[in-house]
Amino acid sequence: MAVKLLTPTGDFPACGLIRRLAVAGYDLLLLLAVLMVVTFGYLGIYIGFYGEAAAHQQADAGGFVGDHVLSLIVLLVTIGFYLTFWTIKGQTLGMQAWRIRLQQTNGYSITRKQALIRLAVCQVSWLCAGLGFFWQFWDKRSRTWHDMASSTELVVLPKGTFKQ
């Protein structure tokens, strides 16, 4: 499968930690909004099948906490969110706002496999108290664990890159 070359092309500087964290916070807020809509939809369907009284009883008993179906939906939506943005455009909305692009080290779009690896290792980076992110201070190319594991990089685009 051919991978399309993203525009613009060029040798761009690596993304710093502060910018990475700002993008992560921005994207987290967007993802939480999407997950709230999906959860409300799930609860609406649940009420449609079982009735409002059963849904209230389930909620009062804490039955939606740890709901396997809802957990699976949340996981799939989260994976879909990042895979879609990273593989099609190379940028989430937060990355667009902060002028950052995710790409392979040769400048090409990343693959779905790279996106899945990046997402999984990124979670490990967070679970290790952010050590995977701070690793960029020791790496000569400013790479994090998820950059290295997925053979990708975050680069900062120049101002006005996408203005017509």
Q: What is the mean pLDDT of residues 75-88?
A: 97
pLDDT in tens, 9-24: 667 899 999 999 999 9
pLDDT of residue 9: 61
Contact 102, 91 (CB under 8 A): yes
Q: Taking all residues of the chain, what is their mean pLDDT, rounded to a whole number?
A: 91
- Given a cut of 60, whether residue 144 has pLDDT beyond it is yes
Q: What is the mean pLDDT of residues 113-131?
A: 96
Which tokens hold the place of 49? 């099948």
| DSSP state letters, 58-109 | HHHTTTTTT-HHHHHHHHHHHHHHHHHIIIIIS--HHHHHTTEEEEETTSBP
Closest Cα partner for 150 from 86, 66, 94? 86
Which tokens hold the place of 48? 């449609």
**Where is 112: in which H helix or E strand?**
helix 112-127
Q: Could you give the C-alpha distances from 3 to 100, 104, 108, 136, in angstroms and in order?
A: 19, 10, 7, 27
- Given a cut of 70, whether residue 60 has pLDDT beyond it is yes
pLDDT of residue 6: 45
pTM of the model: 0.86
Q: Could you give the C-alpha distances from 58 to 64, 66, 67, 107, 150, in angstroms and in order?
A: 7, 12, 10, 50, 41
pLDDT of residue 65: 83
